[in-house]
Amino acid sequence: MTIPNAPAPTAENASRLPAEEARILSELATNPNETDSYFAVSKRSSLLPNLDSASWCDSNVCVCRWYKSWQKYVDEPLGGGGAAAAPRPGPIDNSDIIETDGRSLAVKEKNYLLVNQQVWKTLVEWYNGGPPVPRTFIILLLSHARDDDVTFIRLPKQASIRELYQKVCARTGVSQEKARIRDYYNMSKGQLLDPLSNKSLEESGLLMNRDILLEVEERGLAGLVNLGNTCYMNSAIQCLAHTSPIHEYFLRDHTHQAELARAFGELLKELWSSGTNAVAPRVFKTKVDKAAPQFTGHYQHDSHELLLALLTGLHQESDIVNVFQGQCKSSLVCPVCGETANTYEPFTSLSLPLPSTPTWSISLLSCLDEYLAQEPLGPDNMWLCPQCKEQRQANKKLDLWKLPEILVFQLKRFKTSKYFVKKIDTFVDFPVDELDLSKYVEKGESCLYELYAVSNHDGGIGLGHYTAYAKMIDDDNEWYCYDDSLVSPVHESEIVSSAAYLLFYRKRVGSDMDLS
């Protein structure tokens, strides 16, 4: 392909300094009256300065091969007598970005840059060369499935669907693995665009000002609609939905026979489906009411009571809830003769007492110490000692015997008396990354847990509200707050609060749990 020779160095060209050229092009590139017609200039050519950082590069027209030499010409400091340190480049050469027949553009990533029509015209006046490679742009209106924001995406109509994905992901910060783009004509979900397609926008029917929709595969970030005082249920469900064994079991293609298990499985599938914002758990609520009538209606209840009822109902069909099953060793000791009797009591959660007197803060382990501490049985609860052969007052002591894969602590914030229910708002400091229970087991095995979910209760009795914090199953660094339908990121430093009610811990990999 023949490229015109460089123009003769006119007096004007000879007197124009490199910095002056850059200034003129910068002003032309920011002209608000420019059209959507642009030209390509080869990066391999020697015309343009560092367009990736130059303010006048609008990534609008392709400019190719003499890019580097023009960059060097403009960027290098002047030599003696004010002369440019680098030689002035020759004519523009775009031959490397078009097919040999001269008719079509071979779009190769980073092989060309885009400049607007005025910049191109000025460059040709200064340097001659070519050939011109015009590109017509279209504007697409990008909506995000999770909010109402609209982003303007400008691309050549010849750009491919693959390039559209690259542009959208670069603009929004969404990884291409999670991005899904749909035609959104008339604000209705249309065809899902193939991220690997080389079809052009024009061929795909995406014309000027066409709406497109970005869906992000954010599994596990769906909220739950409050059906009327059902925040207690929503909080417990979100904690269970982010419990790995429960999540893995119910998201498989199991055929559940029991109504409650089937409804729970369907609910989890909805919560973990891509693009879901909030789910209304109406069907699940009716199954809960049937299995546990105490929750019938729309009254406020306790998230711990709902959790226990749900685990009991699910256990009728599957042993998967055994991941919550632990054992305590209960020992009765007769102080008179030293006789000891041991029994083993199962648990699905440990209900830890909180001090009823005003206390600013305590630790989780101090609450556990209080729970396990030896205490004398009252005179109305005498023990028939096998050694003494008579009723004796005994001391009762609890020890952790078998720790479960999933360990749930209830902080007993609600104190019930004959006439009233009082809430205890004491701040309990609990570990997030590492809960070490090794000292509580008789054989001294390593027993390490990490926090992954919290059921919170804010406010007082009757006017309180339940929320949940949960860590994403596939990303150990991301915590989210689940406030009924609303889901938002939360920093790990906010997880430990005086609102914490149920603490969900999972065993650390390599930690020994079976202590029997």
Q: Is 56 inside a domain boundary?
A: no
Mean pLDDT across the stretch 105-110? 45
d(CA 60, CA 137) in angstroms, rounded, equals 9
On whether both 306 and 417 belong to a single domain, the answer is yes
pLDDT of residue 6: 42
Q: Is the pLDDT of residue 3 over 60?
A: no
pLDDT of residue 476: 61
pLDDT of residue 207: 85
d(CA 364, CA 376) in angstroms, rounded, equals 23
Q: Is 54 inside a domain boundary?
A: no
Confidence band (pLDDT; 50, 70, 90) for 243? very high
d(CA 174, CA 176) in angstroms, rounded, equals 6
Confidence band (pLDDT; 50, 70, 90) for 450? very high
On whether both 196 and 129 belong to a single domain, the answer is no
On whether both 178 and 277 belong to a single domain, the answer is no
- Of the candidates 418, 510, 488, the one whose C-alpha atom is nearest the C-alpha of residue 218 is 488
| Residues facing 397 on adjacent strands | 331
Identify the CATH number of the domain in which residue 143 sits. Answer: 3.10.20.90
pLDDT of residue 258: 84
pLDDT of residue 510: 60
Q: Is the pLDDT of residue 162 over 50?
A: yes
Q: Is the pLDDT of residue 181 over 50?
A: yes
Higher pLDDT, 278 or 148: 278
On whether both 166 and 211 belong to a single domain, the answer is yes
Could you say which of 167, 183, 216 is where a domain stops?
216
Q: Is 332 inside a domain boundary?
A: no
pTM of the model: 0.65
Higher pLDDT, 142 or 73: 142
pLDDT of residue 287: 95
Tell which phi-psi region holds residue 307, choosing left (phi > 0), alpha (psi between -120 and 50) or beta: alpha
Q: Is the pLDDT of residue 381 over 50?
A: yes
pLDDT of residue 116: 79
Could you say which of 91, 114, 135 is where a domain stops?
135
pLDDT of residue 14: 54
User: Encoding tokens for residue 259?
Assistant: 């109504």
Higher pLDDT, 267 or 16: 267
Confidence band (pLDDT; 50, 70, 90) for 54? very low
pLDDT of residue 101: 47
Q: How does strand 92-93 pair with strand 134-144? A: unpaired
Min mean pLDDT across 26-30, 137-141, 497-501 is at 26-30
**Catalytic entry in 169, 231, 328, 334:** 231
In a 3-state reduction of DSSP, which class is residue 341?
A: strand
pLDDT of residue 502: 98
**Catalytic entry in 144, 256, 315, 465:** 465
Which letter does DSSP use for residue 247 in this model?
Answer: H
E strands, 393-496, in order:
395-402, 406-412, 414-416, 421-423, 427-429, 435-436, 448-458, 465-471, 479-483, 486-490
φ, ψ at 271 (rounded to 5°): -65, -35
Helices (H), 173-299: 231-241, 244-250, 259-271, 282-291
Min mean pLDDT across 5-9, 131-135, 145-149, 398-402 is at 5-9
**Structural domains in the chain (count):** 3
d(CA 110, CA 131) in angstroms, rounded, equals 19
d(CA 380, CA 79) in angstroms, rounded, equals 103
pLDDT of residue 274: 61
Contact present, 318 and 248 (Cβ < 8 Å)? no
On whether both 439 and 501 belong to a single domain, the answer is yes
Q: Which of 47-56, 67-76, 215-224, 346-355 has the highest mean pLDDT?
A: 346-355
Token look-up 């089937």 returns 262
Could you say which of 99, 118, 135 is where a domain stops?
135
Identify the CATH number of the domain in which residue 455 sits. Answer: 3.90.70.10
Residues 6+ apart with CB under 8 A from 188: none
d(CA 316, CA 261) in angstroms, rounded, equals 9
On whether both 296 and 280 belong to a single domain, the answer is yes
On whether both 272 and 209 belong to a single domain, the answer is no
| Residues facing 143 on adjacent strands | 150, 213
> Range of 469's domain?
220-324+348-357+403-509
How far is Cα of residue 249 from the mean position of the Cα atoms in its chain?
22
On whether both 12 and 110 belong to a single domain, the answer is yes
On whether both 429 and 291 belong to a single domain, the answer is yes
d(CA 244, CA 32) in angstroms, rounded, equals 54
Token look-up 């406020």 returns 300
Instruction: Encode pLDDT of 204-230 as tens digits.
Output: 999 888 899 988 776 778 999 999 999
Q: Is the pLDDT of residue 79 over 60?
A: no
d(CA 20, CA 25) in angstroms, rounded, equals 9
Is 231 considered catalytic here?
yes
Higher pLDDT, 318 or 348: 348
pLDDT of residue 21: 84
Q: Is 378 inside a domain boundary?
A: no
pLDDT of residue 111: 60
Confidence band (pLDDT; 50, 70, 90) for 470? very high
